[in-house]
Structure 1
Amino acid sequence: MEQKIEKSTRVEPSTPIKKRRKISKDQMVAVGFISPSIILILIFVYGFIGWTGWVSVSNWNTLVPDFSFAGLKNYIYLFNDYRFQADLRNTVFFTILFIGLVIIMGLGLSILIDQKLKGESIFRNIFLFPMALSFVVTGVVWQWLLNPSTGFNQFLSVFGIQPKWYTDTNIIGGFEWGSIEFGLPVAIIAVVIAAVWQMTGFSLAMYLAGLRGIPEELREAARMDGGSEFQIYRRIVLPMLMPITVSVVIIMAHISLKIFDLIYAMTGSGANFVTDVPGVYMFETTFRGNYYANGSAIAIIMLLLVAVFIVPYLITNRRGDK
């Protein structure tokens, strides 16, 4: 009898039942608000990227659409094309000079302004003002300023100096690479000057915010330990500004790799394509030459160039958030 009672009162272990996660009303409202944006992004961003990719491997190089598969023919044509090789060369040197000068000048100016200068707000506004202009306006203004017969050259002519600026076709340190002479085009320096003038204010604001976020106690402690101002900036300030530097590099690389409006308004493709970039080539190929497959291939290559900088940055940030 006791054994029967024990069997009847024994509780069998039950398997855990997974609780269903209830979606709250606030979450449903949030999903409802962002759903239209997600749908539009999927269609008008990723959908069009996919469409551009498909056109880039088609034979659509006339006004009549032809979606027959062409493989990598359009890409092979581009990398053997003299103009596209010149575009890649110009993009490389423009990106290096543009990013380097924006970082150096932005950091230097932010350090100077951080010294509690009188009229600090005036200096900040002066350097931030160019950012209020579009690249088209900047291109038109600097086209006149650097025109060989006007602008700065009227002043420089007093000293017997007459630079050709963006009309110069010389290549510094050039060597044969494919069909072109690979080196620094002198004309691209004029475009870099205009781009740096406009975007230095952005890096200045970023670095100044970073400097103001560094506790003064750290600098005082370093000074008490006998550290000079140079050592303080080298050992403490600059390492703490590294995340800002990375952000500036990513944003400036994104701008430089897809630059179009500044080049188009200021110089165009230039003599012998010394100031040409993939964005200008893509526009003229697609909308003036009606070579839609070739233009789409240029657009995909530009997207991949930007992704080389953006994707590693996003992956690193995602890992840091975990």
Structure 2
Amino acid sequence: MSGKLRRFGPPLLLISPSLLLIGVFIYGLMGQNLWMSMTDNHSAAQANGRKPISFVGLENYIELFGTEAFRHSMANLLLFTAAFLIGAMVMGFLWAWLLERPLPGGRFFQTVYLFPMAISFVASGVVWRWLLNSNQGDKASGLNRLFQMVGLDFLQNPWWNNITFGILAIALPAIWQLSGYVMALFLAGFRGVPDELREAARMDGATELQMYRLVIFPQLTPVVMSALVIIAHMSLKSFDLIMSISKPANYQTKVPAVDMFLFKSSYDYANSAAVGTILLAVVAVLIVPYLINQYRESRR
């Protein structure tokens, strides 16, 4: 016993402050949030301790999914995530594919494509709010005004004010801002493929398309998985960009993160915590399998 204590004691002592902080401020608060989501804490009086709080189990979750407004928010989240993922992955891959080969000014374009990532979602949201202005005709501005000036009036639309697909307009600035990051990941993946593999493929008579499809693309699987997880994770918790463009929160652009904020603003802490727990569960469904796969890969 004393031997094990001497062996494992100092390392455990070294990491114990971090374990304590993680246990209290991450898992402890997650547990507190889960408990709050199962109470009837829906008013300021209960939040301030003037009325008792009772345990109601899964009642808040059942009521949330039973409302059309929250189902609409979840549908918006799925649309936003799908558009964000596909757009950022396609644009990032195309930019990386073009910049992989030596081009004049390649470094300049890499910097230009990466620059949006350095801007906060709030700052870019203010600019995109003007670009995606829904006014048309004589009052048109932003992109609608541009379409009007170049004779493409048929492309004018209400953007994020569209009651059915308004959330897809919010995906445009998100794609613009994160495509450069995906480009950097793919570019690193392209340049990580050994030149010997490319030369061997060419010597075997493979065309450029065959070389990419059979040699290079299989090498990019870890990059694709990392990009998918990161983009999906960011889309699920999107709040600042949406609120910056469509503030005050509109029905057509509502997502669960916005619902969580609105519930909290009205002292409905129970429903706010329930929405947060639902988002955590969705993120876990995406992240945990990826982490398990990474762990298995590292053990081989």
Question: Normalising by structure 1, what TM-score?
Answer: 0.84
- Taking a change above 3 Å as real, the CA distance of residues 140 and 132 of structure 1, as seen in their structure-2 partners, is same
- The answer as to whether partners of 1:282 and 1:299 remain within 8 angstroms in 2 is yes
Q: CA deviation at 1:99?
A: 0.8
2:190 match: 211
Alignment: residue pair count: 286
Q: Is 2:222 aligned against 1:222?
A: no
Name 2:212's counterpart in structure 1: 233
Letter in 1 for 2:229: I
Is structure 2 residue 81 aligned with structure 1 residue 88? no
Residue 280 of structure 1: SS of its match in structure 2? helix
Native 8 Å contact 2:249 2:258 kept in 1:
no
Residues 1:38 and 2:19 are matched in the alignment = yes
Counterpart of 1:106, as a letter, is: G
* Structure 2 CA distance for partners of 1:19 and 1:227, relative to 1, 3 Å: farther
Opposite residue 256 of structure 1, the aligned amino acid is S
Q: Which residue of 1 aligns with 2:137?
A: none
**20 and 31 in structure 1: CA distance in 2 versus 1, 3 angstrom threshold:** closer
1:312 corresponds to 2:265: no
What amino acid maps onto 2:21 in structure 1?
A: L
The AA in structure 1 aligned to 2:241 is L
Could you say if the C-alpha distance between residues 147 and 254 of structure 1 is closer, same or farther in structure 2, counting changes exceeding 3 Å? same
Query: Does residue 158 of structure 2 align to residue 164 of structure 1?
Result: yes
Tell me, yes or no, if the aligned pair for 2:243 and 2:249 is still in contact at 8 Å.
Answer: no
Bigger CA drift: 147-156 or 40-49? 147-156
Q: Is the 8 A contact 1:282 1:295 kept in 2?
A: yes
Counterparts of residues 170-185 of structure 1 (less than 5 Å): 171=164, 185=165
State the 1:242 CA deviation. 0.8
- C-alpha contact (below 8 Å) 1:188/1:275 kept by paired residues: yes
SS at match of 1:23: helix
Structure 1 portions without partners, runs of 5+: 1-17, 172-184
Shift of 1:261: 0.7
Conserved? CA contact 2:186–2:220, under 8 Å: yes
Instruction: Specify the code of the residue in structure 2 equivalent to 1:313.
Output: Y
- Give the strand-richer structure, 1 or 2: 1
Structure 2 residue identity aligned to 1:167: N
Larger helix fraction of residues: 2
CA distance in 1, matches of 2:14, 2:143: 53
The equivalent of 1:179 in structure 2 is: none
Question: 5 Å matches for 1:70-85?
Answer: 70-85=56-71
| Matching residue of 2:3 | 20
- What amino acid is aligned across from residue 23 of structure 1 in structure 2? R
Between 1:301-310 and 1:214-223, the stretch displaced more is 214-223
| Structure 1 residue 31, shift from structure 2 partner | 4.1
Quote the Cα distance in structure 1 between the aligned partners of 2:69 and 2:85: 24
Instruction: Give the secondary structure class of the aligned counterpart of 1:237.
Output: helix
Task: Please state how far the C-alpha of 1:19 moved relative to its aligned partner.
Answer: 9.1
Structure 2 unaligned runs (5+)? 47-51, 135-139
| 3-state SS of 1:64 partner | helix
**Distance across 1 between alignment mates of 2:21 and 2:2:** 34
Deviation at 1:21, TM superposition (A): 3.7
Judged with a 3 Å threshold, the aligned counterparts in structure 2 of structure 1 residues 19 and 35 are, in CA distance, closer, same or farther, namely closer
TM-score (norm 2): 0.90
Give yes or no for the alignment of 1:321 onto 2:298: yes
CA contact (8 A) 1:278 1:302 kept: yes
* Paired residue secondary structure (2:126): helix
Given the alignment of the two structures, is residue 109 of structure 1 paired with residue 95 of structure 2, yes or no? yes
Q: Tell me the distance in 2 between the aligned counterparts of 1:133 and 1:278.
A: 24
1:192 is paired with a residue whose SS is helix
The CA RMSD measured in Å over matched residues stands at 1.8
CA separation in 2, counterparts of 1:320 and 1:268?
44
1:117-140 deviation per Cα after TM superposition (whole angstroms, max 9, x unaligned): 122211111011011111111111
Equivalence for 1:265: 244
